[in-house]
Each structure stands twice: as C-alpha cells, then as structure tokens.
Structure 1
Amino acid sequence: MKKILIILTLILISLPAWADWTQIGENDSDDGYIVYADLISAQSAGGRVKMWVLYDYKTEQKASGTNFLSKKIRRDYNCREAGIRTLAFSLFSWNMEKGELLRSYNQPQQWERVQPGSMKAVEWKTACEKP
C-alpha cells in the first residue's frame, strides 16, 4: 500500500499544473497567435475580474533577450471603466505553457483603457461578460 501511495504521489508531482484553457481569440498573421482564457479560475469582486490568459504563438517571440513560444498572463479587468492591467506574467520555451519557464514577472502594471477592436478588448469582454 505504501508503494502505491509513493508512486501516485510521484506521478502527481511530476504532472504540470494545467489550467482549463478556452480559446477566445486568434491572430491569423504568419507570426500570429491564439489566445486562451482560464474561465474557471476567474475571480470577480467589486466590478473587477482577475483572470489568467495564455498567448500561444505560432513562431518564436523575443522580449528582453528571451525567446519564447507562450506567455501566460494574470490580468485585472475593470468592468465598470473598461480598464485592464497586467498583474504578472511568465514566458515559456514551448507552446501551451510547456517547456522551460524562462522568465517570470510579478508586479502590477498601470491601468490602461481597453482599445476597441484589440485583443485586449476580446479579453476584457470575455472576463466582464462571462455568465
């Protein structure tokens, strides 16, 4: 019995923590991306929603000297004032937040107004109009 518990524990530890990603948008250009949101873990309070989004790129991206294929972002959406800000993000070497964690940043950014027609507007609508 002890061996079974040890094996199960090792299996659970070795599995990555996966979110329940739902596709919410896409950019079809040659170096485009697909955007996913974790609707299940979204938290709302006081006219605001905090939600994880994942940008999954078709081609390798570069930021601050780091090459990556996916970017997981924790956002704060102000549903009353059409605002959005980044709370944290992580860059991964492979698609769908797999591979090596290359960089992680955890400092809230300034609020910005959601621009109509942008991918951030799609995110905001998803967060603020979800059932």
Structure 2
Amino acid sequence: MRKVFFGLTLMFVSTGTMAEWTRISESDRKGGSVLHADQSSLRKAAGRAKMAVLFDYQTLQKAAGAEFLSEKIRREYNCQEKQIRTLAYSLFSLNMEHGDLIRSYNQPQKWEMVKPDSLEEVEWKVACSE
C-alpha cells in the first residue's frame, strides 16, 4: 500500500512541474543554444502575456560563479508597447531543466524594449500572437 501511495504522490508531483517545451528558435550566441517556449504556460490579459521559456545551451555557461546548461525564464510581454521583462529565472546543471537547480531568482525586472531580430522578439511574437 505504501508503494502505491508513494508512486501516486510522485506522479502528481512530477506531472505538475512538467512543461510542454516547443522549439521556437536557435542561436550561435554563447556557444550555441536552442530556445523553447512552454505554450501551455501562456496567459494573456489586458494587452499583456506571460510565458515560460527555456534556453538550452550546447556549452557550459558561467554567470556570477554559477555553471549551467539550461535556463528557465518566466517572462511578461507588453504586447501593445512591444516590451519584455523577466519575472523569475532558474539555472539548471543539465540540459532541458534537468540536473541540479543551481540558482533561482524571483524578482520582476524593469521593462525593456524588444530589440528587432532578437531571440526576445521571437518570444514576444509567440506570446503576443493572436
């Protein structure tokens, strides 16, 4: 009985955190990366959208003493003003948000204009499209 209960508990915990990552772009910057969006996390209201994205790096990244291969970011997009800001992020030791959680930050940042022909513009288009 304990094994069944433990298995069911583990199933509910795991499925609650699983994202549906869809590849939306790639880049040669930072040693190469693939950008994924979790469109199931997309929420829209009052001309704004929120969505989770994942940068999956081909080479080990280093920032402020942390080494990581994937970066999950929760973003907010101002669809009318073409702006973007980070709400939270998490760094993981392995690709596709696997491995150890290296660092996590949950503090909304300032709004920034979306730069033309950037990965942020790709995200903005996915999040703000009708």
Which TM-score applies when normalising by structure 2? 0.91
Match of 2:18? 18
Structure 2 gap ranges (5+): none
Shift of 1:40: 1.2
Larger % of helix: which? 2
Shift of 1:11: 3.8
Q: State whether structure 2 residue 65 is matched by structure 1 residue 97.
A: no
Structure 1 gap ranges (5+): none
Shift of 1:6: 1.6
Q: Secondary structure at the match of 2:74?
A: strand
Match of 1:9? 8
Q: How many residues align?
A: 129
Structure 1 runs of 4+ off > 2 angstroms?
Answer: 2-5, 7-11, 13-17
Partner AA of 2:107 in structure 1: Q
Whole-angstrom distance in 2 between the partners of 1:104 and 1:11: 23
Partner AA of 2:8 in structure 1: T
> Percent same amino acid at aligned positions?
52
Whole-angstrom distance in 1 between the partners of 2:117 and 2:83: 14
CA spacing shift, 1:30–1:107, aligned 2, 3 Å: closer
CA spacing shift, 1:43–1:59, aligned 2, 3 Å: same
Whole-angstrom distance in 2 between the partners of 1:114 and 1:108: 16
CA deviation digits over 1:7-30, x for unaligned, max 9? 422542674722000111101458
Shift of 1:75: 0.2
- Superposed CA RMSD in Å reads 1.8
Whole-angstrom distance in 2 between the partners of 1:38 and 1:10: 24
